[in-house]
Structure 1
Amino acid sequence: MKERPARPSVIVTRRLPAAVEARMADLFDASFNKEDKPLTRAELSDAMSACDVFVPTVTDTIYAGLIRGAGERLRLIANFGAGTDHLDLAAARQKGIVVTNTPGVLTEDTADLVMALILAVPRRLAEGEKVLRAGQWAGWAPTGLEGHSVTGKKLGILGMGRIGRAVAKRARACGLKIHYHNRERLPANVERRLGAKYWPDLDAMLAAIDVLTINAPYSRETHHMIDARRLKLMKSDAYLINAARGSIVDQEALIGALQTGTIAGAGLDVFPDEPNVDPRLLRLSNVVLLPHMGSATFEGRVGMGNKVIANIRAWVDGHRPPDQVLEGWA
């Protein structure tokens, strides 16, 4: 096994919080992207060939070719973010590159944003804000900007991991009834604590709920899991919330469902081709659109950075990093 450098060369693809960059600069031979512009594929390739530790973000797509083309020097990819669907993990495994991520840090922040969308979409909060800013508000009226109450409604949670459970806790406090679909059923005591009903059949759950929130990780299995067929199973006055990954939902089918009234509305924090947003979504009044800001808190981003640092330090010391993504590597 090659000896690990005491002060490794670390290249970070985007600007991180100042406190995190300062600590990295103190501990490692760190280089930062001062312009904070996404790196091109050629720039990613050059960076991966010039460091011991590479720190990408969830917006950097690290293809198998980039990993295979990286020099022998690259030993650790310390991802700034919990998701790893932008990394070719199989290629990293074949090349013996350790991959880490930053799980757990963003659970509460992301759940807060999901809950905000669950409230904002049925209550038409974004529409009201736009009317006010445009100078079109003529004063209170009995039928002005009527939305739907969420109290007593059925919330369906697709993916009951850390974030899904945190959403359930918040939603229950707001008077929603909790339903969920997951690969594995939660223990009975957790279900009781959350007041959650398990649906082994996703299709059956979709037909029964009033709001669907997607909190599942993205994978080949979840790609377009919510498609045209499943959107048609939902009630016409139901809402869809997605703060997980854009490609879990078939965007073309979703736009059609929103345009035709198949469902009542949607709240989206993620998109399949970020930062591009389909112009048809921008023209819809029954959609709340956010620029992938589920994790955008000062505390969360610093916490992510600290996890990256902890993973690098553990690797330098010859230990298994605490957030290593793939098992069985030294």
Structure 2
Amino acid sequence: MAKVLCVLYDDPITGYPKSYARVDIPKITSYVGGQTAPTPKAIDFTPGQLLGSVSGELGLRKYLESQGHTFVVTSDKEGADSVFDKELPDADIVISQPFWPAYLTAERIAKARKLKLAITAGIGSDHVDLEAANEHGITVAEVTYSNSISVSEHAVMMILSLVRNYLPSHEWAVKGGWNIADCVQRSYDLEGMHVGTVAAGRIGLAILRRLKPFDVKLHYTDRYRLPESVERELNLTFHPDAESMVKVCDVVTINAPLHPETENLFNEALLAKMKRGAYLINTARGKICDRDAIARALESGQLAGYAGDVWFPQPAPVDHPWRTMPYNGMTPHISGTSLSAQTRYATGTREILECWFEDRPIRDEYLITKGGKLAGVGAHSYSVRELTKA
């Protein structure tokens, strides 16, 4: 029997919900491109419930304990005295989320003598030292595509919020004001602007598709060029690298995984090459942007706004400059953990566990590492190098 150690974020400060705003959510059975949604044999929760917090337990306790496994759930993940560190040495499986990541560093992996499977409940496994995972023969899997559309919707919301100066305008309404001039002095139309994405995978392409009706000029850069038919359909302009793209864009959205080639990509030098007064949106990973360079670019006016929901580390310290820098639209890492997304990534986690325990193959689209090397979607999207430390 296995010990499964699961790290999830804390329950709401008002307590675990007894009811919800909506009684149901749409049922998604497949994604654009033909990939099916997760298909476990069963689930033990109601779709639309809060599953990503400690009390939600990803809906896994009944299943795991009925099979005789030990299931430990905690939000305490920082430091040698944390529940995570104390429970890790004899854990067979670790489950974590990008929103509240339990960083599986090389040091932690070395102490986890029994660890054989690390599951990301969601998308993005950069909180795992993939090189160390390969050295120790640990399989790493994530629930690919489960929250891609959730993130793309969040990114479009942030683009509109920055360009239209929504958040400061809302604050005037809350404060009882009617300060129209204060609101509109930084408000523009998105129509006609040049918008580009760094990476046009599932999330980046979904953002491009959702922006096309706004009559903007669309650009992208990616390791892999999109099919000519897609470029023609969306009237896309391809750029060989981020530097050539950002020079012409009014809005740039980052949708690349974190790997050695993207770490600190948006540094002082690249930000200086952007159009003055451009907007930057980052729902990918915080370490793709140089923390202090972003703050300075907002203060100087090189950037007109920065919005994102990804930070490093996570959770971000209270004195993180992105909390207080001007013209920011930051949120905690929530874009991919809507209640709709939670249903899909909890279901996908259940599917991965069923495959593991029944010695059936895990889908290639869920695999990041297997047998000591990058595998499945991981071979397409990741490079191996330690990224779990500052």
Verify same fold: TM over 0.5: yes
Q: Name the counterpart of 1:63.
A: 105
SS in 1 for 2:190: coil
Q: Conserved in 1, the CA contact under 8 Å of 2:61 and 2:71?
A: no
SS in 1 for 2:163: coil
- Unpaired runs of at least 5, structure 2: 9-53, 376-390
In structure 2, the CA distance between the partners of 1:234 and 1:19, relative to structure 1 (3 Å rule), is closer
Q: CA RMSD in A?
A: 2.3
SS in 2 for 1:191: helix
Counterpart among 309, 314, 318 of residue 355 in structure 2: 314
- Unpaired runs of at least 5, structure 1: none
Q: Name the counterpart of 1:125.
A: 166
SS in 2 for 1:130: helix
Matches within 5 A, 1:155-194: 155-194=195-234
Q: Would you say 1:197 and 2:197 are equivalent positions?
A: no
| Matching residue's letter, 1:200 | P
Q: Name the counterpart of 1:153.
A: 193
Offset at residue 281 of structure 1 (A): 3.5
Length, aligned pairs only: 321
Q: Would you say 1:112 and 2:153 are equivalent positions?
A: yes
Q: Conserved in 2, the CA contact under 8 Å of 1:214 and 1:243?
A: yes
Q: Name the counterpart of 1:21.
A: 60
SS in 1 for 2:296: helix
Identity %: 26
Offset at residue 115 of structure 1 (A): 0.2
CA distance in 1, matches of 2:118, 2:183: 55
Q: Conserved in 1, the CA contact under 8 Å of 2:287 and 2:311?
A: yes
1:257-306 CA-to-partner distances (Å, cap 9, x unmatched) read 10011121111211223322555444444111111111121121121111
| Matching residue's letter, 2:77 | P
CA distance in 2, matches of 1:96, 1:281: 37
Counterpart among 38, 58, 79 of residue 120 in structure 2: 79
Q: Conserved in 1, the CA contact under 8 Å of 2:267 and 2:289?
A: yes
1:34-91 CA-to-partner distances (Å, cap 9, x unmatched) read 6x343534533432223322212331111112112212x3322222231111111222
| Matching residue's letter, 2:201 | G
CA distance in 1, matches of 2:85, 2:146: 29
Counterpart among 253, 259, 267 of residue 307 in structure 2: 267
Q: Name the counterpart of 1:51.
A: 91
In structure 2, the CA distance between the partners of 1:273 and 1:139, relative to structure 1 (3 Å rule), is same
Q: Which moved more, 1:218-227 or 1:284-293?
A: 284-293
Q: Name the counterpart of 2:281.
A: 241
Q: Conserved in 2, the CA contact under 8 Å of 1:271 and 1:277?
A: no
Instruction: Give me the TM-score of the superposition, normalised by structure 1.
Output: 0.89
Q: Conserved in 2, the CA contact under 8 Å of 1:153 and 1:210?
A: yes
CA distance in 1, matches of 2:306, 2:123: 24
1:93-136 CA-to-partner distances (Å, cap 9, x unmatched) read 2222222111110111000000000100011101111122223x
Higher relative contact order (CA 8 A, sep 6+): 2
CA distance in 2, matches of 1:310, 1:109: 20
Q: Would you say 1:253 and 2:289 are equivalent positions?
A: no
Offset at residue 198 of structure 1 (A): 0.3
In structure 2, the CA distance between the partners of 1:9 and 1:119, relative to structure 1 (3 Å rule), is same
In structure 2, the CA distance between the partners of 1:244 and 1:261, relative to structure 1 (3 Å rule), is same
Offset at residue 22 of structure 1 (A): 4.4
CA distance in 2, matches of 1:255, 1:142: 22
Counterpart among 284, 288, 293 of residue 329 in structure 2: 288
